[in-house]
Structure 1
Amino acid sequence: MKIFVDGDGSPVKDTTIEVALTYSLEVVIVTSIDHYSLKEYPKNVSFVYVDKGADAADFRIVQLIKREDLLVTQDYGLASLVLPKGVCVLHQLGYQYTEANIDGLLEQRYFSAKVRKSGGHTKGPKAFTAEDRATFKGKLIEVIEAKKEDLYVE
């Protein structure tokens, strides 16, 4: 199992890396070349840089990710593309995208876009907090533990 992170603007990259180190899991951060960094990362972390473009990182993730991998993203559209591949998808706020909730989330996104396109205003996301980070970390650990158990059963 690898953990993929939709890296453009993700506030949980470091938390994901920290947890992955504990479980000796590989982390692949897919991000725009605009976010290139010289920062040193642990050996279990690799970067895939993509060209500038609205969905370039998303398309690369869809191409690379495999069944049993885990994806961290806040992008509902990306989540909807990888769920059918058997991928576990977590939002940075600690909730899990599923086949049961993705249609409602996409519909909500569509209606919000319609409101904005017609000149209306919608609320943006709240500022990311330490509590949000702790919730995400707890859910990430819970999912990894559950996936480990599933792997041992088979």
Structure 2
Amino acid sequence: MKIFIDGDGSPVKDCAIEIARTYSIDVVIVTSIDHYSLKEYPDNVSFVYVDKGADAADYKIVQLIKNNDILVTQDYGLASLVLPKGVRVLHQLGYEYTGENMDGLLEQRYFSAKVRKSGGRTKGPKAFTQADRDKFKEKLIELIEEKR
């Protein structure tokens, strides 16, 4: 089992790394070369850098991720692509993407895009809070415990 993180702008990267380290799980952060960092990370963390492009990191994650892995992302489209591989997918707010909730989420995204394309406005995400971070940590630990 590995934990993959869709790394462009993830507010839970550090806490996912901390939890993974506790359980001796490897973490793979896939991110655009635009986000290259010289920051020191623990030995269980590796980076995969991809070219600039809207979906470059997503395509690389789909290529690398395997059954029994965990993916951390807020991208519904990416989640829908890896769920059939037997991957557990966790949103940064601590809820899990599943086959049961995916159709509704994709439909909501489609209609929101349609509204924006016609000149309308949709609500953006709420500010990320400590309560959100705590919920994410709890759910990630729960998923890891289930897989052990």
TM-score bracket, shorter-length normalisation: over 0.9
TM-score (norm 1): 0.96
In the TM superposition, residue 63 of structure 1 has moved relative to its aligned partner by 0.1
2:139 matched to which residue of 1? 139
SS in 1 for 2:42: coil
| In 2, Cα distance between equivalents of 1:90 and 1:103 | 16
Unaligned runs of at least 5 residues, structure 1:
149-154
2:32 matched to which residue of 1? 32
SS in 2 for 1:139: helix
Cα displacement string for residues 107-135 of structure 1 (whole angstroms, at most 9, x for unaligned residues) = 00000000000000000001111110000
| In 1, Cα distance between equivalents of 2:100 and 2:107 | 13
Q: Percent identity?
A: 82
In the TM superposition, residue 82 of structure 1 has moved relative to its aligned partner by 0.1
Cα displacement string for residues 66-125 of structure 1 (whole angstroms, at most 9, x for unaligned residues) = 000000000000000000000000000000000000010000000000000000000000
| AA of the residue aligned to 1:124 | G
| AA of the residue aligned to 2:25 | L
TM-score (norm 2): 1.00
| In 1, Cα distance between equivalents of 2:52 and 2:128 | 25
| In 1, Cα distance between equivalents of 2:16 and 2:94 | 12
RMSD of aligned alpha carbons? 0.3
| In 2, Cα distance between equivalents of 1:23 and 1:136 | 16
Q: Runs of 4+ in structure 1 displaced over 3 angstroms?
A: none
| In 2, Cα distance between equivalents of 1:147 and 1:107 | 30
| AA of the residue aligned to 1:80 | S
Aligned length: 148
1:116 matched to which residue of 2? 116
| AA of the residue aligned to 1:16 | A
In the TM superposition, residue 64 of structure 1 has moved relative to its aligned partner by 0.1
Is residue 2:104 matched to residue 1:130? no
